[in-house]
Structure 1
Amino acid sequence: MKAISIRQPWATLVALGEKQYETRSWRTKYRGQLGIHSSQTMDKAVCKYEPVRSLLAKHGYTAQNLPTGFVIATCRLVDCNKVIDNHGTSATLDDGSVVSGNEFMLGNFGVGRFAWRVRDVEMLEQFIPAKGKLGLWELGEISDYKL
């Protein structure tokens, strides 16, 4: 299984299903199962602002209890679309999709960036300690880990 490291609080927001797009400066052709790794890096300041604070709080999270250094969820990467227009409160992707509301606020939808669409997100019951890497990296099979 491939994995991607995401900074906190964004990794947890993906794992909770609150964030369906992970925005990146680069495109991937990969589609399929993907592990969500919470990197050691955390943006504690952003955890104080809306909608991040409320979305985390509704699931019992704050900047103080976000997991770092673990694979925390699995999902399926279903698409990767280029952002072709940013309207300030919404963005248009190259497949015609429009991203708005909380989803828009939870990503960097600058023109030319890429929106990775995830589905079927499942938070792991037991997080897997792992050292993250840049880009997509090989995690192996979740069943290989003692959970």
Structure 2
Amino acid sequence: MFQGGILKAISVVSPWGDMIASGEKTLEIRSWKPDVIPMMDVALVQNKAPLHQDGQEDPNGYVVAIIDIVGCKPWIIEDSRQGGCDESEFISGYLAWEISNVRKLSKQVNVTAKRKFYTLTNSEAKAIAKWSET
């Protein structure tokens, strides 16, 4: 259970956050690799607008779960379903981040969605700790 403190976040476009939180999606597909693996206690922020430009934000994001990113491997077409997509969406050279220890929040916490990994404020982290499940 996340107890509070410094909390990194990663944003995903709806409905993929809900799919990860429910266990339906176990891979996050990206064109880039995290600097550090594993990454434990990462806030999974869901938002509606894709963020393509550096500095772009969506003030209507919300945390749906705390996750661990435990691996990163080349994305293969056979992993499409675990990545929450159809085989027709496969892009050679992309990476599949392996997600585990998903802790769905009992209440969504509103935060600003940003690109790449970013640090949430102390007050956001405290609110997330309050609503994280054991």
Normalising by structure 1, report the TM-score: 0.64
Write out per-residue CA displacement over residues 105-140 of structure 1, whole angstroms, 9 at most, x where no aligned residue: 537542210111110101101111001100011125
Identity level (%): 27
3-state SS, counterpart of residue 131 of structure 1: strand
The structure 2 residue matched to 1:33, chosen from 29, 41, 45, is 41
Gaps of 5+ in 1: 43-67, 91-98
Gaps of 5+ in 2: 1-6, 51-59
Does residue 12 of structure 1 match 2:13? no
Figure out how many residues of one structure are paired with residues of the other and give that number: 109
* 1:51-62 → structure 2 map (5 Å cutoff): none
- Structure-2 residue corresponding to 1:115: 96
Q: 1:103 to 1:18 in 2, by over 3 A?
A: same
Which of the pair has more CA radius of gyration? 1
Structure 1 contact 3–37 (Cα < 8 Å) conserved: yes
2:63 and 2:22 map into 1 onto residues whose CA distance is 13
Does residue 106 of structure 1 match 2:88? no
Structure 1 residue identity aligned to 2:94: R
2:72 and 2:48 map into 1 onto residues whose CA distance is 25
Runs of 4+ aligned residues of structure 1 deviating over 6 Å after TM superposition are none
1:35 and 1:103 map into 2 onto residues whose CA distance is 20
2:10 and 2:84 map into 1 onto residues whose CA distance is 21
Structure 2 residue identity aligned to 1:75: I
